[in-house]
Amino acid sequence: MDTINLIDGGVCAPIGFTANGVHCGIRKNTTKKDLALVLSSTQADAAAVYTTNLVKGAPLTVTKNNLSDGKAQAIICNSGNANTCNANGIEIAEEMCKLLSDELHINKTDVIVGSTGVIGQPLSIEPIKNGIPNLISGLSANGSANAAEGIMTTDTKMKEIALEFNINGKTCRIGGIAKGSGMIHPNMATMLVFITSDVNIDSGLLHTALFNTVQDTFNMISVDGDTSTNDMVSIMANGLAGNDRIVTEDENYKIFLSALNMLMTNLSRRIAKDGEGATKLLECVVSGAKTKDIARTVAKSVICSSLVKAAMFGSDANWGRVLCAIGYSGADVDVTKVDVAFKSAKGTIDVCKDGAGVPFSEEIAKEILLEDEIEILVSLNSGNESATAYGCDLTYDYVKINGDYRT
């Protein structure tokens, strides 16, 4: 398979995409952007996956309707207000699409609309209406970072990435921006991710690729166990790279799938590492499972454990908490075969073999766990399947941030 390379440009790296982000007045803090736009110069094939929370933000309903034909040309998203549980939420989300379509002279059903922020607060259309002209006039091929800032809430770091690869001898690109820090426990999805590409691919296959890749990337993140109401992962592919249209799951599809997986894995790690109050990225790597579902279930159970997360914050090699999380995961596991190790840039240390503790140096373990990226290695020794889950430590600051989030 051809090499996939990191490049600059975020969502604007693919041919034909521009973006921008502005402060329009939804947020009181005028230094923070609160409205973002991504535009394709032509109509694109599009797909999205959505939260499984029964309480859904109005923008998801509108976006799902708009994408029923598998086409889109623009993404508009505000931060600071989730537009969820509002009596006129659908009306507001539809008006956002219409205002944008009127200014851009595109079909209002070709708009993906998103909102993120506080739930249950009325959202006025006025700041959005007033902000759209500046949003459009500032569109730029260098605007990905502005758009990424415009969708941030409690995030402390901007999240964007772009990749380049070849299909049919044509240079193709894929880019993405994401927000996500708290209320992260995907069952698709609990964050906002907007992906662009210039690959020519059928919208049905685009949805298949997105849905399948989500299972081992965004759906394997947990920051706090809360599944959000609002968020989604969407993708637009405008075909301007000029490759032969991908209409079957052939080798070209596999190249695209590989690039999509790399992009979504990268963003998953960034979201987990930027969890609210977090000081460490945690990855639970499970190997030797009988089935993929068992591997996923075990990895997610460990990464979701508040006790494991707290131990990692304190750099405490309390491996019993890992075994505990495996034991209540509900997965079909022979606990007498389980091995556990901790790994970081400082090295690897075995702490459990065949479901029982082994002698190890607490001092060396502490040194390993003081790093800001930790791997919890779990070997089930019962099969050939594996999975990785992404999370973060649980700190005092998580409670501080969420104790007064609304006010």
CB distance 269 to 229 below 8 Å: no
Active-site entry in 18, 51, 109, 190: 190
Coil, strand or helix: which one is 172?
A: strand
At how many degrees (to 10) do helices 319-327 and 306-313 cross? Answer: 160
- Cβ atoms of residues 223 and 66 within 8 Å: no
Gap between the Cα atoms of 56 and 64, Å rounded: 12
Q: Helix (H, G, I), strand (E, B), or coil: what is residue 19?
A: strand
Cβ count within 10 A of residue 131: 22
- The 8-class DSSP code of residue 31 comes to T
Please indicate whether residue 154 is annotated as part of the active site. Answer: no
CB 74 within 8 A of CB 38: yes
Residue 234: alpha-carbon gap to chain centroid: 10
Tokens of 188: 């698709």
* Catalytic residue positions, numbered: 190
